[in-house]
Each structure stands twice: as structure tokens, then as C-alpha cells.
Structure 1
């Protein structure tokens, strides 16, 4: 098992969670790839995306079926400007590569926000530190594990 994935397993166990990290032969770099490899809905993929909020890294855990509306997110968290982080910034902030960023196990603390849309799915799948590893977790466990702040990341019609 990759050291990043082993670290995720250790963190899950330390929090009393019994989820197992699965290493897949297929890539889980995108939500669509992960959903296809796991035979689940794209919305049940908890994508870990790094953004810059007024220049500082933040982590957004979002449903794989959503695109993050950065203006909406900025209003909710009190930021002026939110932009996507580049690959070097993602690795620097988390110690993990784009496409494999886990919701936990980063090299340093990072403010974390979670898309309330993820509540609609019974079990979620999140990356486990590499583009080929994932773990299953319930929304409430993910919320507790990460200490994330709940937000809406996509405007809804109506």
C-alpha cells in the first residue's frame, strides 16, 4: 500500500472508523473515472478540491456531480476571490497529487468546507492520497473526521 494511503488508513482507524482503503487498477483521478471504477453514482464521489481563498489554500469536499460556483462559495466563507489552485500549490498544501487528494492526512492543517449535497448519498467514496486509491465513508463520519464547515457549492434552480 502506498504510504499516503497507509496514512489515511491509520487516521480512519484512530477515529474509530472501519473503512478500508481500496487500491484500484483503474484511475480515480476524476469523479467520473472513480464512479465508473466503483460502479456508483458520480454524486457519491466526495471530490477533494484545493482552491485559493484570497490567496490562502482551502479544501472543498464536493459531490462529484457538482461544479463549484466560486462566487457562491466566496460569499459563504467571507472571501473576496476564490480561484483554482495549480498542481504545485495542491501538492504543497496537502502533500498529495491532484486526482488523489484525500479529505484528511495532509502535511499541514487546511481550512475545509463540505458540500451539503453529499448528504443525499448513503455512502461516499473519497480519494485516499493517490489517483488509484479510495475509501468509503458516511457523510456524518466525513464531516466529523475533517471538522469541515458545511456549504452549498452550486446554485440550485428554483
Structure 2
């Protein structure tokens, strides 16, 4: 099956980087972590979702690759990278190169400040978006860190009970 253009770009990049797993097309959308997990038969926590912010100081894109089960604590992220603002769909498409719902953690059109959720390291493998709402790829947390060069951080919003 022929991949959509953006998913093919990710597949080509993964191959170029020596990644051995294919891009998989989900029959249903994987726009949300829950939808992707249902389509893959894994837990929501095993989905490596990409959340994009805009750093206020220099308008740089900031991406947090978080466990699908976690809400990202904007305060924790800001403490690490600087004050954040909202990244709208146009900002994400222009600065990262993917539409929301299929934002891949690699292959960005410009330098992106990145952090990886420490909770992803608990899993043998995780699934990340591959440039299209129906496209995903499997990788180990170690491969995610190697492919992105991103540091591991505590970015999850923890309830105060």
C-alpha cells in the first residue's frame, strides 16, 4: 500500500537513520492517543504523543514527546525551556512540518527544542505518529532518545492527592 506523502517522508527518514520498523497505517485515525492505542491493541500510555508549544522568548517550537496517558505540565516544561505560549495549527505545520494529529518526533523543518517524558522509559516499545493522522511507527524508548537527541524530563501533570 502506498503511504501518504508525509508518512512516506517519515518512512524514508527512518530507513535513512537505520530504523528497522515500518510505518504502519491504522484503519481508523490515530489523532488521539486513545484512538491510536485502540487501533494498535496497546495501552494509551504506550503512545508517544507529540505536544507542541511556542517559546515566547524566541518564538521557537518546543516539542514534548509524552506518554499518551499523561497530561503535560506546562509549568514543568517552562521551568526547563522558558516561558511558553500556545502553538496553533499553522505554527505547528510551518515550524515542525506536520499537521496536528500526525506530528512526528523526527524530521522537523526547523530546529526544535525537545523533551521526552520520563514515563515512556517504562515500556519495551512505544508508538509515535509518522506524519499523518493514520500513520504510526514502533520504536523503543532508547531509539526515541537516539533519534531525537532529546533529554528525558519529568513533564507529567501529577495530581496533588
* TM-score normalized by the length of structure 1: 0.93
User: Which of 98, 105, 108 is the equivalent residue of 1:106?
Assistant: 108
User: Which of 97, 114, 117 is the equivalent residue of 1:95?
Assistant: 97
Q: Is the 8 A contact 2:92 2:99 kept in 1?
A: yes
Alpha-carbon separation, structure 2, partners of 1:82 and 1:151: 16
- How far apart are residue 155 of structure 1 and its match? 4.4
1:106-145 correspondence to structure 2 within 5 Å: 106-145=108-147
Please tell me the root mean square deviation across aligned C-alpha atoms, in Å.
1.4
Report Cα offsets for 1:9-60 as digits up to 9, x if no partner.
1221122210100111201001111111111010100001110122321111
Residue 129 of structure 1 aligns to a residue in which SS?
Answer: coil
**What is the aligned partner in structure 1 of residue 73 from structure 2?**
69
**What is the aligned partner in structure 2 of residue 57 from structure 1?**
61
- How far apart are residue 83 of structure 1 and its match? 2.8
Alpha-carbon separation, structure 1, partners of 2:44 and 2:27: 18
Alpha-carbon separation, structure 2, partners of 1:20 and 1:109: 25
User: Which of 85, 88, 91 is the equivalent residue of 1:86?
Assistant: 88
- How far apart are residue 105 of structure 1 and its match? 1.5
Q: In the comparison of the two structures, how many residue pairs are matched?
A: 156
Structure 2, gaps ≥5 residues long: none
Alpha-carbon separation, structure 1, partners of 2:97 and 2:21: 22
1:2-13 correspondence to structure 2 within 5 Å: 2-13=4-15
Moved more, 5-14 or 134-143: 5-14
Q: Is the 8 A contact 1:127 1:133 kept in 2?
A: yes
